[in-house]
DNA sequence: CAAAAGACCAACTAAAATACTAGGAATTAA
DNA sequence: TTAATTCCTAGTATTTTAGTTGGTCTTTTG
């Protein structure tokens, strides 16, 4: 029941882009260095984010990544699902909303537990916007001097 | 971000015990057969439940397992944590409440995300009691004839 | 226009976690 | 005393995770 590095690294990468792409697109290598993540692994994560329409890329020299929308319009849920797949605790079609493939669906009681967990997780991340993390991050930097490495976002 | 078979099978096992231990203790082999779980794998799961004080065992012939308390006094959260370990999405000491071992704790912003997810999961499972699953299961069987295999609880 | 900076892509690999299996020792009711 | 049962430890196969490798295509800039 743990988030993988995909979700952890990937969210940090998005936040890094949000914080540093105001002037120009951020290069993969810059994010990788700033966040201490392997560049080629991060590449795969950003590919997922791009496919999900969360970031936009420009190729070639001076290229890099920017957000596709304003941080107020991107939820943490959208980001995490792009990286991790759905956040449901079990892969039960009925919980997700599909048809019952499960033989025992009529006598299955535990699925109410999974649904409850699922709903609470999704609600928690869907009501939290990227902008809130950006604000929190800026607040932390208030009073601190700018470093040449710009803003970091560990964890 | 998925629950393992430990949590899924284990919860089914506890529910099976809750539903079938009124007259006498339920043998491991009976649960295993009724739930279609490998007996020796289930054994390890029940060991965790016993260690956590959720079930009580009696050894020897006619032995088996019963609940340590009434189903109203056992939360699903307690059961799942016994089986899966803590349900936090990341292992960050500050989230769990311990001291900061994380170097970046002062600039870490994503931890608010993990805390939010963590709180919502734990709240969801801690406010759900085993008794509610027992009632739901009984309701499903209302009107159905008793089978010699007794009550099952798939999923 | 060449070269450097960068995104994009597919396939491979090492390590860790999961999901079991095997084999037996200890305990108790009949 | 024997059958039914829990208890315990150690193994193993499979799957998933977390990367690495080696390249191709695109764009800016000297």
Q: Which residues of chain A does B8 touch, with a Cβ-Cβ cutoff of 8 Å? A: 90, 110
Q: Is B35 helix (H, G, I), strand (E, B) or coil?
A: helix
In this complex, do A154 and B104 lie within 8 Å of one another by their Cβ atoms?
yes
In this complex, do A120 and B121 lie within 8 Å of one another by their Cβ atoms?
yes
Residue B85 (CA) to nucleotide D15 (C1'), in angstroms, measures 21
Distance CA A103, CA B154 (A): 9
The reported pLDDT for the residue numbered A144 is 57
Contacts of residue B87, Cβ cutoff 8 Å, sequence gap at least 6: A1, B77, B80, B81, B118, B121, B122, B125
Q: In the predicted model, is pLDDT for residue B86 greater than 50?
A: yes
Rounded average pLDDT over A87-102:
79
Q: Which residue is nearest to nucleotide C3 (CA to C1')?
A: A61
Rounded average pLDDT over B51-77:
98
**Percent of chain B whose pLDDT exceeds 70:** 86
Rounded average pLDDT over A73-95:
94
In this complex, do A104 and B2 lie within 8 Å of one another by their Cβ atoms?
no
B27, B145 contact by CB (below 8 A):
no
pTM: 0.92
Distance in Å, alpha carbon of B129 to nearest chain A alpha carbon: 10
Q: Which residue is listed with tokens 């991340």?
A: A125
Nucleotides of D under 7 A from a protein CB: 3-10, 17-22, 25-29
Instruction: Suggest the residue from A89, A126, A130 to mutate for an interface test with chain B (most B CBs closer than 10 A).
Output: A89
Q: What is the CA radius of gyration of chain B?
A: 18
Distance CA B55, CA B46 (A): 8
Q: How remote is the C-alpha of B91 from its chain's centroid?
A: 21
Q: Is the CB of A53 under 7 A from strand C?
A: no
Q: Which residues of chain B does A146 touch, with a Cβ-Cβ cutoff of 8 Å? A: none
Q: In the predicted model, is pLDDT for residue A35 greater than 90?
A: yes
What would the 3-class secondary structure string for chain A be? CCCCHHHHHHHHHHHHHHHHCCCCCECHHHHHHHHCCCHHHHHHHHHHHHHCCCEEEECCCCCEEEECCCHHHCEHHHHHHHHHCCCCCCCCHHHHCCCCCCCCCCCCCHHHHHHHHHHHHHHHHHCCEHHHHHHHHHHHHCCCCCCCCCCCCCC
Contacts of residue B47, Cβ cutoff 8 Å, sequence gap at least 6: none
Angle subtended at Cα A9 by Cα A81 and Cα B115, rounded to the nearest 5 degrees: 70
The reported pLDDT for the residue numbered B14 is 98
- Minimal Cα distance from A6: which residue of B? B1
Distance CA B14, CA A71 (A): 44
Residue B147's pLDDT band, with cuts at 50, 70 and 90, is very low
Q: In the predicted model, is pLDDT for residue A142 greater than 70?
A: no
Nucleotides of C under 7 A from a protein CB: 3-11, 18-23, 26-30
Q: In the predicted model, is pLDDT for residue B99 greater than 80?
A: no
B15, B128 contact by CB (below 8 A):
no
């Amino acid at each position: 029941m743990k988030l993988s590095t995909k979700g952890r690294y990937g969210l940090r990468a998005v936040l890094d882009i949000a914080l540093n792409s105001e002037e120009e697109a951020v290069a993969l290598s810059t994010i990788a260095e700033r966040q201490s993540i392997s560049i080629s692994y991060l590449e795969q994560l950003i590919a997922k984010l791009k496919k999900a329409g969360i970031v936009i890329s420009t190729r070639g020299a001076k290229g890099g990544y920017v957000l596709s929308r304003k941080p107020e319009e991107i939820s943490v849920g959208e980001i995490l699902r792009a990286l991790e797949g759905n956040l449901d605790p079990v892969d039960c079609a009925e919980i997700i909303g599909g048809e019952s493939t499960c033989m025992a669906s009529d006598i299955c009681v535990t699925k109410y537990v999974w649904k409850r967990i699922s709903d609470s997780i999704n609600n928690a991340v869907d009501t939290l916007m990227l902008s809130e993390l950006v604000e929190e991050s800026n607040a932390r930097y208030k009073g601190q001097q700018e470093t040449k490495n710009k803003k970091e976002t560990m964890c």
